[in-house]
């Protein structure tokens, strides 16, 4: 059924990604981390960016969650591309084996992420994706990243 394509969604402490070929799901992965301020909404880094830097235990947990999510996503997407991870696939149980190769073989990579989260995908020297890659396409704004959501985006 033609070349595979990928759908990646990242927001609110959640990442979901899948690689599809025709109707078949070749790979999928979901991560969830505690990053959002309950009741207030918004990420901890957005609050930190206002100049106020809360020192509460919750704020520390959310900061740690944001960093861990970034590392999880980069490790997953970079595996097989010579980036973080040794490609054995046992990083973070069910990890990155095949993701680098799968993304490299995709005809299109659809992504959904708010501007503040795009640096996880495109920023820095070890970025898993190159923002100038002609295969990249912004996906319609997604709901909470989940396997169901990336599946829905893949059919649009």
Beta strand segments in 1-95, E: 5-11, 14-21, 24-32
Q: Catalytic residue among 44, 67, 118, 119, which?
A: 44
In which residue are the tokens 């095949």 written? 98
96 with 78: CB under 8 angstroms? Answer: yes
| Catalytic status, residue 44 | yes
Cβ-Cβ contacts under 8 Å for 152 (sequence gap 6 or more): none
Return phi, psi of residue 10, to 5°: -140, 120
17 with 151: CB under 8 angstroms? Answer: no
d(CA 87, CA 83): 9
Question: Active-site residue numbers?
Answer: 44
């Amino acid at each position: 059924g033609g070349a595979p394509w990928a759908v990646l969604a990242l927001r609110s402490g959640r990442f979901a990604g899948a690689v599809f070929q025709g109707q078949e799901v070749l790979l999928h992965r979901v991560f969830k981390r505690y990053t959002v301020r309950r009741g207030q909404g918004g990420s901890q880094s957005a609050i930190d960016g206002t100049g106020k830097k809360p020192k509460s235990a919750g704020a520390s947990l959310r900061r740690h969650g944001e960093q861990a999510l970034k590392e999880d996503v980069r490790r997953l997407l970079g595996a097989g591309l010579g980036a973080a991870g040794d490609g054995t696939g046992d990083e973070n149980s069910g990890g990155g084996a095949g993701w680098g190769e799968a993304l490299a073989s995709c005809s299109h990579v659809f992504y959904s992420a708010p501007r503040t989260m795009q640096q996880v995908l495109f920023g820095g020297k070890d970025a898993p994706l190159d923002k100038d890659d002609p295969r990249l396409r912004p996906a319609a704004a997604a709901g909470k990243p989940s396997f169901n959501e990336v599946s829905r985006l893949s059919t649009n």
